[in-house]
Chain A
Amino acid sequence: MTKKFSQEHEWIEFEDGVATVGITDYAQQSLGDIVYVELPEVGKKLTKDGDAAVVESVKAASDVYAPLDGEIVEINEELDANPALVNEAPESEGWFFKMSLADESQLDELMDEAAYKDFVEGL
Chain B
Amino acid sequence: MDQQTELLKTALYDLHVELGAKMVPFAGYAMPVQYPLGVKGEHLHTRAKAGLFDVSHMGQVRLTGEHRVAELEKLVPGDIAILKPGRTRYSAFTQDDGTILDDLMITNAGDSLFLVINAACKDDDIVHMRANLGDGVSLEEIDDRALMALQGPEAAKVLSRFAPAVADLKFMSFAEIEIAGIPCFVTRSGYTGEDGYEISVPNTDAEALARKLLAEDEVEAIGLGARDSLRLEAGLCLYGNDIDTTTTPVEGDLKWIINKRRRAEGGFKGADVILDQLENGADRKRVGIKPEGKAPAREHTQILNTDGEEIGEITSGGFGPTVDGPIAMGYVAIEFSKPGTKIDLMVRGKARPAEVVELPFAPHRYFRG
Number of A-B contacts (CB under 8 A): 48
Contacts of A33 in B (CB 8 A): 38-41, 321
Contacts of B225 in A (CB 8 A): 32, 58-59
Q: Determine how close the nearest CB of chain A comes to the CB of B328; give it in whole angstroms.
A: 13
Residue B229, interface by CB 8 Å: yes
Q: Convert A28-63 into 0s and 1s, putting 1 for each residue whose CB lies closer than 8 angstroms to a CB of B.
A: 000011011010000000000000001011111100
Residue B202, interface by CB 8 Å: no
Of all A-B residue pairs in the complex, the 3 with the closest CB atoms, nearest first, are A33-B40, A35-B319, A58-B39
Within 8 A of A (CB), among B288-337: 294-296, 298, 318-319, 321, 326
Q: Determine how close the nearest CB of chain A comes to the CB of B21; give it in whole angstroms.
A: 13
Please state if B296 and A36 are interface contacts (CB–CB under 8 Å).
Answer: yes
Please state if B39 and A36 are interface contacts (CB–CB under 8 Å).
Answer: no
Nearest opposing residue in chain A for B224, CB measure: A59
Nearest opposing residue in chain A for B319, CB measure: A35
Q: Determine how close the nearest CB of chain B comes to the CB of A39; give it in whole angstroms.
A: 11
Please state if B39 and A32 are interface contacts (CB–CB under 8 Å).
Answer: yes
Given known contacts A33-B38, A33-B39, A33-B40, A58 and B319 CB-to-CB distance under 8 angstroms: yes
Residue A104, interface by CB 8 Å: no
Partner of B34, one of A32, A35, A38, A56: A32
Give the A-binding residues of B (Cβ under 8 A).
Answer: 33-34, 38-41, 43, 225-226, 228-229, 294-296, 298, 318-319, 321, 326, 348
7 further A-B contacts with Cβ under 8 Å, apart from A33-B39, A56-B296, A58-B40, are A32-B225, A33-B40, A35-B40, A35-B326, A38-B348, A57-B319, A59-B318
Partner of A36, one of B34, B38, B40, B319: B319
| Complex CA–CA separation, A32 to B319 (angstroms) | 13
Q: Determine how close the nearest CB of chain B comes to the CB of A87; give it in whole angstroms.
A: 9
Nearest opposing residue in chain A for B229, CB measure: A58
Partner of B296, one of A32, A35, A80: A35
Please state if B38 and A56 are interface contacts (CB–CB under 8 Å).
Answer: no
- 17 pairs, CB–CB < 8 Å, chain A vs chain B: A32-B38, A32-B225, A33-B39, A33-B41, A36-B294, A38-B295, A54-B348, A56-B295, A56-B319, A58-B43, A58-B225, A58-B226, A58-B229, A58-B319, A61-B298, A80-B294, A83-B294
Given known contacts A54-B348, A56-B319, A61 and B39 CB-to-CB distance under 8 angstroms: no
Please state if A61 and B38 are interface contacts (CB–CB under 8 Å).
Answer: no
Give the B-binding residues of A (Cβ under 8 A).
Answer: 32-33, 35-36, 38, 54, 56-61, 80, 83
Q: Determine how close the nearest CB of chain B comes to the CB of A121; give it in whole angstroms.
A: 16
Nearest opposing residue in chain A for B39, CB measure: A58
Given known contacts A33-B38, A33-B40, A61 and B296 CB-to-CB distance under 8 angstroms: yes
Nearest opposing residue in chain A for B294, CB measure: A36
Nearest opposing residue in chain B for A63, CB measure: B348
Q: Determine how close the nearest CB of chain B comes to the CB of A38; give it in whole angstroms.
A: 6
Contacts of A60 in B (CB 8 A): 298
Contacts of B298 in A (CB 8 A): 60-61
Please state if B326 and A36 are interface contacts (CB–CB under 8 Å).
Answer: yes
Contacts of B319 in A (CB 8 A): 35-36, 56-58
Contacts of A57 in B (CB 8 A): 39, 319
Contacts of B39 in A (CB 8 A): 32-33, 57-59
Q: Determine how close the nearest CB of chain A comes to the CB of B63; give it in whole angstroms.
A: 36
Nearest opposing residue in chain A for B320, CB measure: A58
Given known contacts A35-B296, A35-B319, A36-B296, A59 and B38 CB-to-CB distance under 8 angstroms: no
Contacts of A83 in B (CB 8 A): 294
Contacts of A61 in B (CB 8 A): 296, 298
Nearest opposing residue in chain A for B228, CB measure: A59
Contacts of B38 in A (CB 8 A): 32-33
Q: Determine how close the nearest CB of chain A comes to the CB of B43; give it in whole angstroms.
A: 7
Q: Determine how close the nearest CB of chain B comes to the CB of A77; give it in whole angstroms.
A: 13
| Complex CA–CA separation, A90 to B296 (angstroms) | 21
| Complex CA–CA separation, A83 to B225 (angstroms) | 19
| Complex CA–CA separation, A38 to B226 (angstroms) | 23
Q: Determine how close the nearest CB of chain B comes to the CB of A122; give it in whole angstroms.
A: 15
| Complex CA–CA separation, A36 to B319 (angstroms) | 9
